[in-house]
Amino acid sequence: MYELEMRQKRILSLQKKMTCYQNDQQLHTANLANLPSAGLGFGAFGSVDFALVMDVITGERDKAKDLAVWTQVTLRLKKIRNYIQYLSGSS
């Protein structure tokens, strides 16, 4: 009797794992289907954003330096925000 219960538990465990795997596969397939549209949207946003920044930055001599500062700030904005929250004591 004990062996039968253990086999049933193993079968149920395997069925749960297979269900999770199937759900993950469906989710993965749905994400792959959205990648082209997400890439196009991000590319359009990035190119317009870059064009606006190039128009806003004045002074041809310092344009590269200003662009480097702008890039570093945008890449590390989250870290800067977290550091400010840490200093202010809020979470």
79 band by pLDDT with thresholds 50, 70 and 90: confident
Could you give the angle at which helices 77-88 and 63-75 cross, rounded to 10 degrees?
Answer: 60
Give the Å distances, CA to CA, from 78 to 72, 73, 82, 83. Answer: 11, 9, 6, 9
pLDDT at residue number 35: 74
Name the pLDDT band for 42 (thresholds 50, 70, 90): confident
Mean pLDDT of 45-71: 85
| The predicted structure's pLDDT at residue 21 | 59
- This prediction has a pTM of 0.44
Say whether pLDDT at 76 is over 70. Answer: yes
